[in-house]
Amino acid sequence: MKIVINKNDKTPLYLQIYGQVKDMIFKGTLVDGYPLPSERGLAKDLGIHRNTVIRAYSELRDEGLISSHQGISYRVSYGSLPCQKVRKPVNWEALVKEEYDSFESDFDDLFSKSYEAHLISFAGGVAAREPYSTAEIAAAFGRILKKKNNKPYFYTPYQGDKDLRGEIADFMSRKGIITKPGNIQIFSENNQALDFLLTLMLSPGDKVVVPDIMSPDVYRTVQLAGGEVITVPMDGEGMVCHNLEALLERERPRFIYVDSSFNNPTGVLLSLERRKRLLELSYKYRIPIIEEDEGSELYYRTKAIPSIKSMDTGNNILYMYSFSLTMIPGVGISFVITDREVASKLSKLVSARLVTLDWAPQMLMLEYMRSGLFMERLDAFRKVCGEKQNLMNRYLRRLRKNFAIEYALPAGGVYFWIKLPDGMEGKSLLAEAQKEGVAFIPGNAFYTKKSLGNNYIRLNYSYPTKEEIKEGMEKLEIAMRRTQELVHKKSKQLVL
């Protein structure tokens, strides 16, 4: 809005302002709802006294051309249509679907805050940084961009780049899974893959059997798709299968979901016997299994165990795999291996929801797989993560001695699942740990019932450096000591 005043003109200054604003309103230059400059701001711009602006605005308001609003000065309020004179603000809160209105977001908030610059984070399942150098990544991108007959930037087919799917099929053959590019659908991460799978095949009210301790992304995705989560207990061999058949008979679930390799958050490896049992039940009851297997490369004290998919001769397994733990941090590539017809329908669903799948991560993954660098780096990942696990374990042994924590040393993966001393809760410990500059995820985030897991925490060791692990674990011990003192103090107060 531009106003010009002439102090030599005999017309009073306030009327000059009034006339120009009114003219702009009637010509449509200032539309209904347009915010006017504040009294003080306009007076300063024009080099006049504030009272002059106040008088001009008063004249405009008396004619119904503008209105004053507390905290936001003045707005044009003259509407040519009756509907413009009555404003009914949209009730955005009421428009949000009920299932999203009550969306559980504690885990997301904790995860996001855990990577603030001042914190040492043991919170996230993120790939180790050491195996890939910045120079090497830059060189790989350089080779991609210089290639002749390069594909259009930022575009790949809805099913994912065909060459990459071919490389993935070859990679899977080394894991005992024989598949073809047409059976593979590319995604950015397993959470996205699971969301698309359930959108395609889960109907409201359908039930999904899951382990009772798992990533919250799993049970939330089921619930948001309208499904019902049925939990099954876990022990040191994974999902307990002893009475699972009776459960399947009674509940008739649509799917069984299992995180087979180094479960998130417990680090438990599903035993070979239970993998076979789950496959047997799948065949008997014609219930598909969604097998998530992203941790299967990171084994340190055991040999690789065949995936359920590798033993599946009946095509009953929907296999999800992610490179999130074995590729450059932040490069999101995952995929689903399924029936060719299902893969085709997944691709159609992707086309309806996305303009294209991410081009750069796919091309980078293809470059590393074609060159053989990816397979070389797997050994480096196992070595680095194994060393980090041993380092964190040394500190945990000290905490077990000093505080009586309980935990099992996983044979692989990227997590420790720790039971805290009696009376100590994960959220209380986190509050003290954050004061020291350390973050992790409390255990109750991994249960559908938030009253469970209060005395557990999950620590990740893949992403922090060794120096960060040393410093972070020292600080965690300080936080535990202070939390324990608070527990004892509270206990004495209750006795008194």
| H and E: helices and strands count for the chain | 18, 17
pLDDT at 81: 46
Summary mean pLDDT of the chain: 89
Residues 6+ apart with CB under 8 A from 278: 239, 241, 244, 256, 258, 289, 308
- 337-342 long-range CB contacts below 8 Å, 24 or more apart? 337/172, 337/177, 337/179, 337/183, 337/184, 337/309, 338/183, 338/185, 339/183, 339/315, 340/180, 340/182, 340/183, 342/200, 342/201, 342/318
Closest CA to 230 of 261, 251, 216: 251
The residues with which 185 forms a beta bridge, in sequence order, are 336
Residues 6+ apart with CB under 8 A from 427: 442, 444, 454
Letter for the amino acid at 5? I
pLDDT at 455: 95
Kindly report, as residue ranges, where domains of CATH 3.40.640.10 are found in the chain.
132-376
Kindly report, as residue ranges, where domains of CATH 3.90.1150.10 are found in the chain.
377-495
Confidence of residue 155 (pLDDT cuts 50, 70, 90): confident
Measure the CA–CA gap between 29 and 261, rounded to whole angstroms: 65
Measure the CA–CA gap between 271 and 392, rounded to whole angstroms: 25
pLDDT at 102: 56
Measure the CA–CA gap between 287 and 249, rounded to whole angstroms: 11
Confidence of residue 173 (pLDDT cuts 50, 70, 90): very high
Most confident of 9-18, 135-144, 235-244: 235-244
pLDDT at 423: 92
Angle at 367 between CA 363 and CA 371, to 5 degrees: 170
Task: Give the position of tokens 């299992």.
Answer: 258
pLDDT at 380: 92
pLDDT at 333: 94
N-terminal to C-terminal alpha carbon distance within the chain: 70
For domain 132-376, which architecture applies? Answer: 3-Layer(aba) Sandwich (3.40)
The answer to whether 36 and 65 have CB atoms below 8 angstroms apart is no
Measure the CA–CA gap between 185 and 183, rounded to whole angstroms: 7
The answer to whether 58 and 64 have CB atoms below 8 angstroms apart is no
Residue 104 has pLDDT above 70, yes or no: no
The answer to whether 191 and 222 have CB atoms below 8 angstroms apart is no
pLDDT at 117: 67
Confidence of residue 489 (pLDDT cuts 50, 70, 90): confident
Q: Side-chain half-sphere of 305: how many Cα atoms within 13 Å?
A: 22
Task: Give the position of tokens 């692990």.
Answer: 469
pLDDT at 222: 95
Residue 170 has pLDDT above 90, yes or no: yes
Kindly report, as residue ranges, where domains of CATH 1.10.10.10 are found in the chain.
13-85
For domain 377-495, which architecture applies? Answer: Alpha-Beta Complex (3.90)
pLDDT at 99: 62
Residue 83 has pLDDT above 60, yes or no: no
Q: What percent of the chain has pLDDT over 70?
A: 90
Letter for the amino acid at 360? A
The answer to whether 468 and 120 have CB atoms below 8 angstroms apart is yes
Residues 6+ apart with CB under 8 A from 63: 22
pLDDT at 33: 83
Closest CA to 262 of 243, 286, 237: 237
Per residue in 328-356, pLDDT (tens digit) is: 888 889 999 999 999 999 999 999 988 77
Q: Please count the residues of the chain.
A: 496
Confidence of residue 460 (pLDDT cuts 50, 70, 90): very high
Per residue in 432-450, pLDDT (tens digit) is: 999 999 999 999 999 988 8
Per residue in 375-433, pLDDT (tens digit) is: 999 999 999 999 999 999 999 999 999 999 999 999 999 999 999 999 999 999 999 99
pLDDT at 259: 96
CATH number for the domain running over 13-85: 1.10.10.10
pLDDT at 120: 92
pLDDT at 71: 55
pLDDT at 291: 98
